[in-house]
């Protein structure tokens, strides 16, 4: 960013898969955030056709970016660079002659740039003919690359090196054969109709968690549900689902890495040896656990919400993690808590009689939260008290819906 003139037009390319962690406030440092343009890529992770991107997907990202970073909602677009959805005439909608495209590695920036270049010049056909190379290896774009667009309003498009954490984030742990899979739109995503339905974890053993066992996908995280929990999940993360008896058993199996369990891990042994423990604040309904540069896991607790029981998660140090109210609750139309005449409905009647609505991000509560790190050796009671001060966990009362639950103990995310 220091090499880009302060008065330049900035286009921040953001991946939908790990949103909002794919957003960086450093982009707007010393600049007016309302004058930066945001392009959310990988929209095909959530929609099976381009029509859904603008009709139901775009409002969520516009509202979120306006509140998180002060973006102008009219400066936000949702696209699929890979499939070309939403890219028609996109350059002409962006002001200025020179447009600097910035974003994290594997955010879809180079794929988007290449799509825009090929839309600009219909004579280009082969990958090697013109345009940026697209590599699975982080940091492939090593310097600014300029392209003079041919069509009116296109101006000069400038592709820049991708952002990467100083400690390389997830890339310090990834196994070589799994680098191509991470942060990609693949078969595990929700593009197909009904493809985002949660399922019981595909693992051996009891479905009820005992307060010690851990659930994982690819070794990118280890979720520890409280005792008596039953969960369903949707895995927007590449990798194999696995369950471990407890933390010590995980560490033992990680060190051994026997052939029959090696497929469970998409990361090296150092990932499990450098775990950070977090406690998730109280929530109601389904949430997404979001890991930067990786993706997300949707968690749906089944059964009664109880006082004093919190979810915990272990994540390799250096991989940023937040929780969000599930993105699926905002980007698809659903049934609300009132009927067509405006009368409130009992919870059991909502699925059949609720008016069809597109939920908006509420103004009076947070829908994203950062997590509080607690020492690995600290007992649960003491760890929970760091997240939930006092005696109450803030979940008392009969809550009818996730909309009504206020997320009082959630904390602002740091981007």
Q: pLDDT (tens digit, 9 = 90+) per residue, 222-254?
A: 999 999 999 999 988 888 999 999 999 999 999
Confidence at residue 232, expressed as pLDDT on a 0 to 100 scale? 94
Q: Which CATH class is domain 9-164?
A: alpha beta
CB-based contacts of 200: which residues, under 8 Å, 6+ apart?
207, 231, 232, 233
Name the one residue in this structure whose structure tokens are 């959530």.
46
Three-state secondary-structure class, residue 143 = coil
When pLDDT is cut at 50, 70 and 90, the band that residue 275 belongs to is: very high
Does 335 have pLDDT greater than 70? yes
- Please tell me which residue, 274 or 196, carries the higher pLDDT value: 274
For the chain, the average pLDDT equals 85
Percent of the chain with pLDDT over 70: 86
Does 128 have pLDDT greater than 60? no
Confidence at residue 124, expressed as pLDDT on a 0 to 100 scale? 62
pLDDT one-digit tens code per residue, 317-330? 999 999 999 999 99
Structure tokens at 288: 């997404």
Give yes or no for a contact between 41 and 14, defined as CB atoms under 8 angstroms apart: yes
Give yes or no for a contact between 249 and 292, defined as CB atoms under 8 angstroms apart: no
pLDDT one-digit tens code per residue, 20-33? 999 999 898 888 99
Residues of the chain with CATH 3.40.50.300: 9-164
pLDDT one-digit tens code per residue, 164-218? 888 888 989 988 877 777 766 665 456 665 678 888 998 888 889 999 999 999 9
Output the pTM of the full model: 0.90
What does the alpha-carbon distance between residue 311 and residue 278 come to, in Å, rounded to a whole number? Answer: 9
Give yes or no for a contact between 409 and 307, defined as CB atoms under 8 angstroms apart: no
């Amino acid at each position: 960013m220091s090499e880009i003139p302060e008065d330049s037009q900035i286009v921040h390319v953001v991946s939908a898969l790990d949103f909002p962690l794919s957003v960086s406030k450093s982009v707007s440092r010393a600049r007016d955030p309302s004058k930066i343009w945001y392009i959310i890529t990988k929209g095909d992770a959530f929609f099976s056709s381009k029509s859904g991107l603008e009709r139901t997907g775009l409002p969520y990202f516009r509202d979120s970016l306006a509140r998180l970073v002060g973006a102008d909602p009219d400066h936000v677009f949702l696209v699929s660079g890979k499939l070309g959805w939403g890219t028609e005439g996109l350059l002409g909608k962006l002001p200025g002659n020179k447009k600097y495209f910035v974003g994290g590695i594997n955010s879809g920036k180079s794929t988007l740039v290449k799509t825009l270049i090929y839309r600009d010049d219909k004579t280009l056909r082969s990958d090697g003919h013109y345009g940026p190379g697209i590599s699975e290896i982080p940091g492939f774009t090593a310097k600014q690359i300029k392209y003079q667009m041919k069509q009116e309003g296109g101006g000069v498009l400038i592709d820049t090196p991708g952002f990467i954490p100083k400690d390389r984030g997830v890339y310090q742990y990834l196994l070589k054969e799994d680098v191509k899979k991470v942060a990609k739109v693949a078969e595990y995503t929700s593009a197909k109709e009904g493809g985002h339905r949660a399922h019981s974890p595909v693992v051996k053993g009891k479905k009820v968690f005992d307060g010690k066992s851990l659930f994982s996908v690819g070794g990118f995280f280890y979720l520890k549900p409280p005792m008596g929990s039953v969960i369903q999940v949707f895995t927007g993360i590449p990798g194999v689902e696995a369950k471990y008896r407890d933390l010590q058993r995980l560490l033992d199996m990680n060190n051994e890495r026997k052939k029959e369990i090696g497929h469970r891990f998409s990361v090296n042994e150092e990932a499990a040896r450098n775990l950070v423990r977090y406690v998730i604040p109280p929530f109601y309904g389904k949430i997404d656990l979001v890991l930067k540069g990786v993706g997300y896991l949707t968690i749906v607790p089944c059964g009664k919400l109880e006082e004093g029981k919190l979810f915990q998660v272990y994540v390799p140090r250096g991989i940023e993690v937040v929780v969000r109210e599930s993105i699926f609750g905002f980007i698809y139309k659903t049934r609300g808590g009132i009927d067509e005449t405006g009368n409130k409905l009992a919870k059991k009647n909502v699925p059949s009689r609720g008016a069809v609505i597109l939920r908006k991000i509420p103004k009076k509560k947070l829908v994203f939260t950062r997590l509080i790190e607690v020492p690995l050796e600290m007992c649960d009671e003491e760890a929970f008290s760091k997240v939930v001060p006092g005696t109450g966990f803030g979940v008392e009362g009969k809550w009818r819906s996730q909309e009504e639950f206020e997320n009082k103990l959630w904390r602002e995310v740091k981007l």
